[in-house]
């Protein structure tokens, strides 16, 4: 089973993954905790609707790290002393916090790797020197294998400095018995002309095997995703190219091996692992990211019903309610959990966007956008109630829908709170008559959580739902038989 975990990867690493069970770990953790990390959605023209999340604000805070550094003391004393020294040196708290939180998680990642496994840490030059010491203390300096330099072009050019156009990827093994499968690039024309092609090697290109030279730790042949029109582009701030992940996955795993990314973001690692027929584990603290990754994995198979069903059946999403009992459990916890409950309903169950400006009764919790043309966007507002509600709360939401000039309103609550009076009030709001096909849709729709879990959703014209950015058209390895095993 391939698994997507929603939550802090520390919790997942501690509680959900067996020791020495993963062949390859790649991570590309964000550094700036204040970054609006998940820009996954189309915004709509409402003044208080900003479709950006700061999903890491709590986890990467300068307070939480104090608890984690004390926990590290019990795991690795040398690591604790290093981090404490940095704290004493009065480095910016953001740096110490980041390194502490990363060190804690990398320590557990080391435990989850098989003895033959490999670890890749992608970072920019501002933090690579600190992170290398952290990894030396966890993996042992003797298991450091490469400082890979990924060079690229594009982007802005500073006037007073040399343009910074490379990332650093630190590569470690778990033990001396690690697995590595070299890949080769073609010889240059000059090398061929000089006759210096005696070195044996194979380079796969379009299914052909030709002689070549081994790829080194200086990667200049993989472009960065810079153009907004690039077919892979998902408008995700830290997105990496599939070609980069292909190289890492192919050199450190084989078909059927387990690949994990504990900060999976928009899911490039997971998408490439799926295409190369590896098993995979993806973790992200943002439910928005988990939804995007899930859709991205399934998209290449949407016109292949049997393959689509097989892939979907082999994906588990862990961390969201699966039944009404667990949904109620999430809804009835603390106020913070109540907000998570709303986000789960809106973004996972309804494929919408949560309103980042949380309001008391009288506002709305989320929205969906759809449109008739590129210039015309229509809006569905969503209100989610985690507890008792009635006619007065529904009437307040209807007023919001009217004031915001939305086309529809979806009122979501548990079945036990829906009354005949509420249904009558909703029906009295009339219907929406789109020009296409002549269908009619209730302007205010009441949906129970029970029916959402059964697959029911709001009914509106499906011209084109543009709330989610389209996942890239990931190419897949074609099998002659559509029923071929995709997960051998």
Tens-digit pLDDT profile for residues 442-455: 999 999 999 998 88
CA distance 272 to 52: 26
Question: How many CA within 13 A on the CB side of residue 296?
Answer: 30
* Structure tokens given for 434: 């789109």
**CA-based nearest residue to 367, from 410, 400, 303:** 410
The C-alpha angle 266, 334, 46, rounded to 5 degrees, equals 55
3 state DSSP class of 305: helix
Residue appearing with tokens 């033959």: 116
Rounded to an integer, the average pLDDT of 140-165 is: 87
The better pLDDT of the pair 88, 229 is held by: 88
Give me the mean pLDDT over the 466-478 stretch. Answer: 42
- Confidence check: pLDDT of 51 > 90: no
Residue of 406 and 138 predicted with greater confidence: 138
The helix/strand/coil state of 437 is coil
Distances (CA, A) of 185 to 118, 163, 167, 203, 216: 22, 27, 21, 6, 10
Tell me, what's the pLDDT at 8? 85
Q: How confident is the model at residue 235 (pLDDT cuts 50, 70, 90)?
A: low
Element (H, E) at 82: helix 77-88
- Asked if the model's pLDDT at residue 476 lies above 80, the reply is no
Share of the chain above pLDDT 70, in %: 75
3-state secondary structure of 335: helix
**56 pLDDT exceeds 70?**
no
Q: Specify the higher pLDDT residue, 195 or 108.
A: 108
| Closest to 127 measured CA to CA, from 226, 60, 28 | 28
Strand 441-442 to strand 431-432: parallel, antiparallel, or no bridges (unpaired)?
A: antiparallel
Give me 123's structure tokens.
Answer: 């970072």
Residue 122 has what pLDDT? Answer: 94
Indicate the pTM of the whole model.
0.72
Q: Residue 438's pLDDT band (boundaries 50, 70, 90)?
A: low
**pLDDT of the residue at 66:** 81
pLDDT tens digit string along 9-28?
A: 998 999 999 999 999 999 99
Model pLDDT for residues 168-188, shown as the tens digit of each residue: 999 999 999 999 999 888 777
- Whether the per-residue pLDDT at 42 is higher than 80: the answer is no
* C-beta atoms surrounding 418 within 10 Å: 19
Written out in words, the top-level CATH class of the domain with range 2-179+217-318 is alpha beta
pLDDT band at 437 (very low <50, low <70, confident <90, very high): low
Determine the longest span between alpha carbons in the chain, in angstroms: 87
In which band, very low, low, confident or very high, does the pLDDT at 34 lie, cut at 50, 70 and 90?
very low
411 pLDDT higher than 60:
yes
Sign of the torsion angle spanned by Cα atoms 290, 292, 293, 295: positive
- Mean per-residue pLDDT, 115-144: 95
- Give alpha helix (H) positions in 24-76: 64-75
Closest by CA position to 37, among listed 58, 48, 52: 52
Cα–Cα distance for residue pair 423/381, rounded to 1 Å: 18
Higher pLDDT, 118 or 466: 118
CA distances from 165 to 128, 154, 220, 232, 371 (A): 15, 8, 11, 20, 39
The CATH code that applies to domain 324-453 is 3.40.91.30
Arithmetic mean of pLDDT over the chain:
80
Domain coordinates of the chain in residue numbers?
Answer: 2-179+217-318, 324-453
Provide the token pair at 306: 């049997």
* Percent of the chain as helix, strand, coil, to the nearest 5: 35, 20, 45
Residue 32 has pLDDT above 70, yes or no: no
Helix axes 324-331, 335-343, angle to 10 degrees: 130
Grade residue 393 by pLDDT with cuts at 50, 70 and 90. Answer: very high
Report which of 27, 29, 30 is spatially closest to residue 248, judged by C-alpha positions: 27
Query: What are the tens digits of pLDDT across the range 191-220?
Result: 666 665 554 444 444 443 448 778 899 998
Assess whether pLDDT exceeds 50 at residue 256.
yes
């Amino acid at each position: 089973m391939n698994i997507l975990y929603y939550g802090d990867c520390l919790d997942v690493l501690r509680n959900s993954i067996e020791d020495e069970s993963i062949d390859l770990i790649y991570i590309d953790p964000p550094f700036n905790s204040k970054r609006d990390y998940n820009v996954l959605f189309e915004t709509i023209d409402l003044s208080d609707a900003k479709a950006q999340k700061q999903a890491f604000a709590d986890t990467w805070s300068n307070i939480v790290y104090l608890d984690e550094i004390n926990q590290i003391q019990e795991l690795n004393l040398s690591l604790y002393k290093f981090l404490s020294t940095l704290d004493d040196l009065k480095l910016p708290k953001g740096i110490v916090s980041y390194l502490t939180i990363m060190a804690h998680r990398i320590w557990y990642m080391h435990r989850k790797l098989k003895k033959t496994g490999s670890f890749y840490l992608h970072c920019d030059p501002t933090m690579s020197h600190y992170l290398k010491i952290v990894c030396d203390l966890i993996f042992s300096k003797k298991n450091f294998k490469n400082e890979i330099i990924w060079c690229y072009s594009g982007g802005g050019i500073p006037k007073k400095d040399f343009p910074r156009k490379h990332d650093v990827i630190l590569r470690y093994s778990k033990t001396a018995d690690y697995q590595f499968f070299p890949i080769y690039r073609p010889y240059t024309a000059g090398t061929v002309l000089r006759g210096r092609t005696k070195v044996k090697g194979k380079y796969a290109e379009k299914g052909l095997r030709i002689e070549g030279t081994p790829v080194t730790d200086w990667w200049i042949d993989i472009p960065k995703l810079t153009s907004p029109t690039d077919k892979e582009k998902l408008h995700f701030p830290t997105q990496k190219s599939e070609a980069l992940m292909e190289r890492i996955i192919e050199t450190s795993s084989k078909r059927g091996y387990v690949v994990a990314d504990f900060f999976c973001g928009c899911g490039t690692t997971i998408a490439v692992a799926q295409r190369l027929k590896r098993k995979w584990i993806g973790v992200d603290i943002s439910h928005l990211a988990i939804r995007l990754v899930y859709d991205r994995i399934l998209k290449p198979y949407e016109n292949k019903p049997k393959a689509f069903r097989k892939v979907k059946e082999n994906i588990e999403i862990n961390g969201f309610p699966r039944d009404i009992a667990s949904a109620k459990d999430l809804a009835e916890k603390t106020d913070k959990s109540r907000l998570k409950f709303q986000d789960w309903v809106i973004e996972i169950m309804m494929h919408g966007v949560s309103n980042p400006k949380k309001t008391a009764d009288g506002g709305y919790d989320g929205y969906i956008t759809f449109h008739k043309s590129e210039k015309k966007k229509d809006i569905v507002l969503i209100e989610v109630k985690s507890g008792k509600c009635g006619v007065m709360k529904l009437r307040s939401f209807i007023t919001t829908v009217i004031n915001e000039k939305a086309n529809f309103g979806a009122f979501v609550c548990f079945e036990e709170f829906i009354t005949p009076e509420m249904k009558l009030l909703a029906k009295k709001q009339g219907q929406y008559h789109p020009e296409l096909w002549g269908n009619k849709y209730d302007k205010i729709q009441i949906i129970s959580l029970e029916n959402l879990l059964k697959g029911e959703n709001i009914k509106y014209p499906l011209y084109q739902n543009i709330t989610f950015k389209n996942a890239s058209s990931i190419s897949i390895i074609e099998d002659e038989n559509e029923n071929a095993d995709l997960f051998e």
